Amino acid sequence: MPFTESFFLINLFANRPNYHINPFSLYVKFFKLYSLNRFYKTNFEFIREMSTDKKDHPEILKWASSDGEFRRKDSSFRSTISKNPNATYSAEKDRYHLYISWACPWAHRTVIVRALKGLDNVIGLSVVDYFMGEKGWKFSTPEETPGAIPDNINNAQYIRELYFKTDPNYEGRFTVPVLWDKKTQTIVNNESSEIIRIFNDAFDDLTSTTKGITYYPENLRTKIDEINEWVYNTVNNGVYKCGFATTQEAYNRNIEPLFESLDRLEDILSKNEFLVGDTFTEADIRLWTTIIRFDPVYHTHFKTNKKTIANDYPNILRWARQIYQIPKVADTVNMYHIKHHYYESHKQINPTGIVPINNGPDLAHPIIKPKNA
């Protein structure tokens, strides 16, 4: 009831002779009720705003579990694209759009395979700003952030809008990469390991120069899968387990397995050109996006400072340079976005936002095989 109407009724009843009511006590009771009403109204509005805010802006920057351990959650959208024209998601030119961050190693995999398979004119591309704030990945113009490519498909301001457009009740993280279907207006897949396999062969009938080129050859799949598994757990995800740990125990559990795996990789690459013999495969691509970020970011930012790639792993360095110098790969590397994303976005790790000067080893340097190779 509005304040003026309530005040009128109090005066009406207080001044009637048949009602033995003390006007002063009535006013006191009224103001108590009025104040209580204002309190509940204000606080319920606040609670409602908080719950809405929680739905719209989940705890994007809260990475570790209660025990201090970082546990990466599974991706939510896992559909595939088929050569079959009758499939729900069939391979068609200009039907799909890829959303990535130059900074993200998982998204980086997908844009490498997109480039190597000659899909630049088949699958569109948008690139988010390197900075990730409380609302997650945002879109910027190239004028605002060089290297960014706005979302001209959905005109979204944030990646999270794509997730809510696909599922209004979505409660997970708003990650990249995102493979979007313009026809059905939905996310097809947001799992990088599956997107690179989709790109590997699903669109072969739409390309002429790269048809038949595969980074997941059938005769090597068992070996590739085996390497992918331990590299993912201890290296790709291992650096994050160290960097996002919030207890010493969680950090200690993951730092040694990381360097044991790097030592193992160094040994493999001292004998082989690539991870699976002399064949360049997806196993190399999946590892490579972590390795090129190791010295300039993970070594300092994620406290993985026992060794560096440049000074302690000559065979890994040779291999990293060799892949960088494969045509089209270098074009997918934006070290400015990589460094500024990690050092500026992760305020819980680097509150000052200061970005170190080191860009890591020169990957364009001539490839010189180590003496023991």
* Burial of 233 (C-beta count, 10 Å sphere; 0-12/13-18/19+): middle
First-to-last alpha carbon distance for the chain, in angstroms, is 85
76 annotated as ligand-binding: no
Active centre residues (catalytic) = 104, 240
Are 260 and 339 contained in the same domain? yes
Quick count: other Cβ atoms within 10 Å of Cβ 263?
Answer: 14
Are 161 and 101 contained in the same domain? yes
48 domain residue, yes or no = yes
> Does the pLDDT at position 40 exceed 50?
no
224 domain residue, yes or no = yes
Mean pLDDT of 50-58: 41
Better pLDDT: 1 or 45: 1
From 175, 206, 237, the end of a domain falls on 206
> Does the pLDDT at position 80 exceed 60?
yes
pLDDT band, very low/low/confident/very high, at 285 (cuts 50, 70, 90): very high
pLDDT band, very low/low/confident/very high, at 67 (cuts 50, 70, 90): low
182 domain residue, yes or no = yes
302 annotated as ligand-binding: no
What pLDDT is recorded for position 262?
A: 99
76 domain residue, yes or no = no
pTM over 0.85: no
CA distances from 185 to 96, 119, 153, 163, 191 (A): 10, 20, 10, 11, 18
> Does the pLDDT at position 77 exceed 80?
yes
From 146, 178, 206, the end of a domain falls on 206
191 annotated as ligand-binding: yes
Side chain identity at residue 342, one-letter code: Y
89 domain residue, yes or no = no
Are 129 and 153 contained in the same domain? yes
Which of 15-24, 146-155, 190-199 is the least confident region? 15-24
**Domain count of the fold of the chain:** 3
306 domain residue, yes or no = yes
Are 195 and 230 contained in the same domain? no
Q: What is the 3-state secondary structure (H, E, C) of the chain?
A: CCHHHHHHHHHHHHCCCCCCCCHHHHHHHHHHHHHHHHHHHHHHHHHHHHHHHHHHCCCCCCCECCCCCECCCCCCCECCCECCCCCCCECCCCCEEEEECCCCHHHHHHHHHHHHCCCCCCCEEEECCCCEECCEEECCCCCCCCCCECCCCCCCCECHHHHHHHCCCCCCCCCCCEEEECCCCEEEECCHHHHHHHHHHCCHHHCCCCCCCCCCCHHHHHHHHHHHHHHHHHHHCHHHHHHCCCCHHHHHHHHHHHHHHHHHHHHHHHHCCCCECCECCHHHHHHHHHHHHHHHHHHHHCCCCCCCHHHHCHHHHHHHHHHHCCCCCHHHCCHHHHHHHHHHHCCCCCCCCCCCCCCCCCCCCCCCCCCCC
pLDDT in tens, 236-247: 999 999 999 999
Mean pLDDT of 202-211: 94
78 annotated as ligand-binding: no
173 annotated as ligand-binding: yes
Are 183 and 259 contained in the same domain? no
pLDDT band, very low/low/confident/very high, at 371 (cuts 50, 70, 90): low
176 annotated as ligand-binding: yes
CB 244 within 8 A of CB 64: yes
Beta partners for 127?
100, 149
- Mean residue pLDDT of the chain comes to 87
> Does the pLDDT at position 51 exceed 50?
no
What pLDDT is recorded for position 367?
A: 84
Side chain identity at residue 173, one-letter code: R
Residue 172 is part of a domain; what is its CATH number? 3.40.30.10
Are 30 and 104 contained in the same domain? no
Are 185 and 158 contained in the same domain? yes
Are 262 and 199 contained in the same domain? no
Q: How far apart are CA 59 and CA 71, in angstroms?
A: 14
Q: How far apart are CA 318 and CA 81, in angstroms?
A: 35
Mean pLDDT of 175-192: 98
The pLDDT > 70 percentage for the chain reads 80
Are 228 and 170 contained in the same domain? no
What pLDDT is recorded for position 74?
A: 67
Q: How far apart are CA 327 and CA 117, in angstroms?
A: 11
**Residue-number span of the structural domain to which 19 is assigned:** 3-56
Better pLDDT: 209 or 11: 209
Q: How far apart are CA 370 and CA 271, in angstroms?
A: 11
Residue 329 is part of a domain; what is its CATH number? 1.20.1050.10
CA distances from 360 to 80, 171, 220, 265 (A): 36, 37, 31, 19
Mean pLDDT of 160-183: 97
Are 115 and 36 contained in the same domain? no
368 domain residue, yes or no = no
Are 101 and 202 contained in the same domain? yes
What pLDDT is recorded for position 12?
A: 44
> Does the pLDDT at position 46 exceed 70?
no
263 domain residue, yes or no = yes
Are 189 and 244 contained in the same domain? no
192 annotated as ligand-binding: yes
